[in-house]
Amino acid sequence: MTALSGALGALSRLPVGRSESAWDAFRRAPLTFPLAGYVIGVIVASPFLLTGAPVTALLGIGVPLPTAAVLYLIAVYLVTGIAHVDGLADLADGAAIHGSSEERLDVMADSSTGAAGTLAVSVVVVALALGALALAGAGPALSFAVALCAEVGAKTGMATLVCFGSAAHEGLGSQLVAGSAPRSFVPVVTAAAPVLLLAPIGGGPALLATLLTGPAVALVLLIRSHRQLGGVTGDVLGAANELGRVGGVHAGVVAWTLF
């Protein structure tokens, strides 16, 4: 529980309390990434339930699908904050220049956001909003399950980087990477897999596609970050979270549409 508290403290703005002991426990237990994803996912996915019949009967009106999608978007950033978004922006700025790993890291360390970072954040937020709107049309049960699964998948992607990556420099990323090893990924998978038990109410193909997208995105970032940066950084972890979530939502929508 101490490790989970540390995970929630690091990955969200939830009032769980933050301490050095919780952080130390978290960085040695990567399985708490997907566990935190369950907690965060239940909260941020809840707006999709407002379109269901029980809520409609209670309120006398149904919450419009676009409203549910907007509430989901607001919940995501209220609960998770903007630290991961900032990581995405920094990574995009670093990827936009042609230079050595050191030069890219210097650009990423700059507190100002460049054109590439602004564009990346804008595209991801718009893509998440459009994905949420499409997801809301799938019904309250499926949309809730996919949104929850997207959060678990995104956090599993972060754990993938922590377990298989090496640190590019001293910092947040190095503290997390140093506490894990490839064998630590087995408990991560064990913790993430139960979200597929929602398949009877949420659609098996959609949930599977959503869950696998987070680690898939992380593997792409892992290869590119080692090639361009010399390893994983805190910004890479943040970008994996944001890209894994939006990719997972769209993967779920596509799988639901096709299957």
Q: What is the pLDDT of residues 159-196, one digit of tens each?
A: 999 999 988 888 777 788 887 889 999 999 999 999 99
Which whole number is the average pLDDT over 223-231? 92
Q: Is 166 helix (H, G, I), strand (E, B) or coil?
A: coil
- Residue 197 exposed, middle or buried by CB count within 10 Å (0-12, 13-18, 19+): exposed
Number of domains in the chain: 1
Q: Within a domain: residue 95?
A: yes
Which whole number is the average pLDDT over 2-7? 92
The answer to whether residue 221 scores a pLDDT higher than 80 is yes
pLDDT value at residue 61: 62
The answer to whether residue 38 scores a pLDDT higher than 70 is yes
Distance CA 13, CA 102 (A): 31
Distance CA 250, CA 134 (A): 9
The answer to whether residue 23 scores a pLDDT higher than 60 is yes
Confidence of residue 59 (pLDDT cuts 50, 70, 90): low
Q: Contact at 8 Å (CB) between 147 and 41?
A: yes
Confidence of residue 58 (pLDDT cuts 50, 70, 90): low
Distance CA 19, CA 91 (A): 28
Q: Within a domain: residue 248?
A: yes
Q: Contact at 8 Å (CB) between 169 and 94?
A: no
Confidence of residue 37 (pLDDT cuts 50, 70, 90): very high
The answer to whether residue 44 scores a pLDDT higher than 90 is yes
pLDDT value at residue 54: 57
Distance CA 175, CA 25 (A): 12
Q: Within a domain: residue 97?
A: yes
Tokens encoding 93: 């700025």
pLDDT value at residue 65: 92
pLDDT value at residue 60: 54
pLDDT value at residue 211: 97
Q: Contact at 8 Å (CB) between 233 and 173?
A: yes
Q: Within a domain: residue 234?
A: yes
Which whole number is the average pLDDT over 38-55? 87
Q: Within a domain: residue 112?
A: yes
Between residues 181 and 238, which one has the greater pLDDT? 238
Q: Within a domain: residue 167?
A: yes
**Best CA proximity match to 198, nearest among 244, 232, 148, 257:** 148
Q: Which domain holds residue 203?
A: 33-258
Confidence of residue 55 (pLDDT cuts 50, 70, 90): low
Q: How far is CA 32 from CA 3, 6, 25, 180, 245, in A?
A: 7, 9, 10, 12, 17
Q: What is the mean pLDDT of the chain?
A: 91
pLDDT value at residue 57: 47
Distance CA 168, CA 109 (A): 13
| Start-to-end C-alpha separation, the chain | 38
Q: Within a domain: residue 149?
A: yes
Residue 251 phi/psi, 5-degree rounding, is -60, -40
Distance CA 219, CA 230 (A): 15
Between residues 237 and 16, which one has the greater pLDDT? 237
The answer to whether residue 214 scores a pLDDT higher than 90 is yes
Which whole number is the average pLDDT over 64-85? 95
The answer to whether residue 39 scores a pLDDT higher than 70 is yes
The answer to whether residue 6 scores a pLDDT higher than 70 is yes
Q: Within a domain: residue 211?
A: yes
Confidence of residue 153 (pLDDT cuts 50, 70, 90): very high
The answer to whether residue 98 scores a pLDDT higher than 90 is no
**Best CA proximity match to 160, nearest among 33, 7, 14, 5:** 33
